[in-house]
């Protein structure tokens, strides 16, 4: 299998970044290939615009989605967009690895979604939605770290709902919409406020999660 990890944490020494290493070691030890798109490290531009196209429209009325559709049909996406798209096409498994910020992914990762899951490329045109999406037959999941403890993410907790519920827009409205089979997220809770032993336990749980979901491919 080919694995693509899209990683969105600015600190290479963070616990979030350590989860990238755990996944990479697991998949490579099982004989799979892993590509990492480290968005902060590569200085990925999260802002969508005419710079995404080699031949931007000079029409009086410019619409970004239509420009994406045209660029897909004419193979004229900018090189940085095209590179990410090519890596995504090759992948059998997509992992979004990020710290939860304001109940969502960091802006740099949302910008990746805006620019790379383009109209005409990831959906629309020749591709349907959900079970008919372009990436049907492929799997995806979220690998997340939080500042709040797990007890906050319950109906009685401070946030009043589960993290799985909070992540529904990403799981269903992004990954599921373009056809991925979406696995349950892996969540490391309150990683900056716990002990080293507790962090080691989260790493062990992540290794177990990977074995449970991908053992048949080992």
List pLDDT tens digits, range 151-160: 888 888 788 7
Q: What percent of the chain has pLDDT over 70?
A: 98
pLDDT level of residue 206 (50, 70, 90 thresholds): very high
Q: Active-site residue among 147, 160, 173, 217?
A: 147
153 catalytic, yes or no?
A: yes
| Domains of the chain and CATH, by start | 2-217 (3.40.50.360)
**What are the φ and ψ backbone dihedral angles of 87, each rounded to 5 degrees?**
-65, -40
> pTM surpassing 0.75?
yes
49 catalytic, yes or no?
A: no
Question: Would you say the C-alpha torsion 129, 180, 145, 39 has a positive or negative sign?
Answer: negative
157 catalytic, yes or no?
A: no
Q: Active-site residue among 153, 189, 206, 209?
A: 153
Question: Would you say the C-alpha torsion 21, 26, 30, 35 has a positive or negative sign?
Answer: negative
List pLDDT tens digits, range 55-109: 877 767 889 999 999 999 999 999 999 999 999 999 999 999 999 999 899 999 9
């Amino acid at each position: 299998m080919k694995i693509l990890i899209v990683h969105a944490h600015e600190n290479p020494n963070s616990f979030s970044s350590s989860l990238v290493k755990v996944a990479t070691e697991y998949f490579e030890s099982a004989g799979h290939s892993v590509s990492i798109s480290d968005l902060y490290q590569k200085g990925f531009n999260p802002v969508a615009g005419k710079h995404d196209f080699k031949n931007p429209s000079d029409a009086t009325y410019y619409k970004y989605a239509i420009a994406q559709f045209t660029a897909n049909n004419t193979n004229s996406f900018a090189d940085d967009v095209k590179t990410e798209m090519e890596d995504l096409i090759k992948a059998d498994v997509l992992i979004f690895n990020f710290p939860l910020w304001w109940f969502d992914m960091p802006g740099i990762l949302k910008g990746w979604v805006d620019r790379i899951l383009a109209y005409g490329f990831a959906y629309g045109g020749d591709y349907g939605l959900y079970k008919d999406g372009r990436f049907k037959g492929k799997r995806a999941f979220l690998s997340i770290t939080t500042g709040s403890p797990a007890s906050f993410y319950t109906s009685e907790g401070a946030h009043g709902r589960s993290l799985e519920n909070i992540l529904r827009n990403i799981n269903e409205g992004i990954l599921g919409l373009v056809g991925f089979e979406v696995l349950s997220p892996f969540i490391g809770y309150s990683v900056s406020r716990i002990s080293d032993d507790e962090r080691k336990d989260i790493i062990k749980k992540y290794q177990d999660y990977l074995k449970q979901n991908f053992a048949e491919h080992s």
